[in-house]
């Protein structure tokens, strides 16, 4: 299909640019979560190594760290997927723009669009899985706090 109007090409190239912007917002959010998870892992491992940490707290940290490891992996894969999706959308925009000169390049835009959307979907699934793991570590922390509080109240009741 010949393109008679260069503005048609520009208008067609805007769609992937909007997708790049949306993906960049997602990258920013996932990157913030990645940094927060990494900081939490560092603080937990420092607490675990501290001589002041009691054995019950060390056991709680040991139970939580595998979930945090999974969360950091999921966030990392989500970021990678989002960057690859963004690359697909940028490439698609360039190909759409280049169709003004070479019509055969238009054939590659649909596969790139599909690849970008699939990468976006995989990244969202990774983030949802990471969120589930985040809940498990929080519930473990709450259970540990409840146990500590009940032990403290039993100690306070003793004569």
| pTM: predicted TM-score of the whole model, two decimal places | 0.67
How far apart (Å, rounded) are the C-alpha atoms in residues 121 and 114? 10
What's the pLDDT at 106?
63
Q: Span 130-151, mean pLDDT?
A: 73
What's the pLDDT at 1?
47
Per-residue pLDDT for 25 more than 90? yes
Per-residue pLDDT reduced to its tens digit, 79-120: 989 988 888 888 887 777 777 666 666 666 777 778 888 888
Kindly state the tokens that stand for 103: 């019509």
Q: What Cα–Cα distance (Å) separates residue 66 from each residue in 30, 92, 128, 145?
A: 20, 39, 17, 19
What's the pLDDT at 29?
92
How far apart (Å, rounded) are the C-alpha atoms in residues 56 and 62? 10
């Amino acid at each position: 299909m010949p393109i008679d109007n260069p503005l048609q090409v520009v208008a067609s190239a805007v769609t992937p640019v909007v997708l790049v912007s949306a993906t960049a917002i997602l990258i920013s959010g996932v990157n913030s979560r990645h940094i927060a998870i990494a900081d939490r892992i560092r603080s937990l491992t420092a607490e675990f190594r501290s001589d002041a940490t009691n054995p019950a707290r060390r056991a709680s940290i040991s139970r939580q760290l595998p979930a945090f490891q999974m969360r950091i992996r999921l966030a990392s894969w989500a970021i990678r997927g989002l960057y690859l999706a963004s690359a697909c959308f940028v490439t698609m925009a360039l190909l759409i723009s280049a169709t003004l000169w070479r019509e055969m390049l238009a054939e590659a835009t649909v596969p790139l669009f599909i690849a970008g959307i699939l990468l976006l979907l995989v990244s969202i699934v990774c983030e949802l899985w990471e969120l589930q793991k985040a809940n498990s570590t929080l519930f473990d922390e709450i259970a540990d706090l409840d146990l500590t509080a009940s032990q403290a109240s039993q100690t306070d009741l003793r004569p």
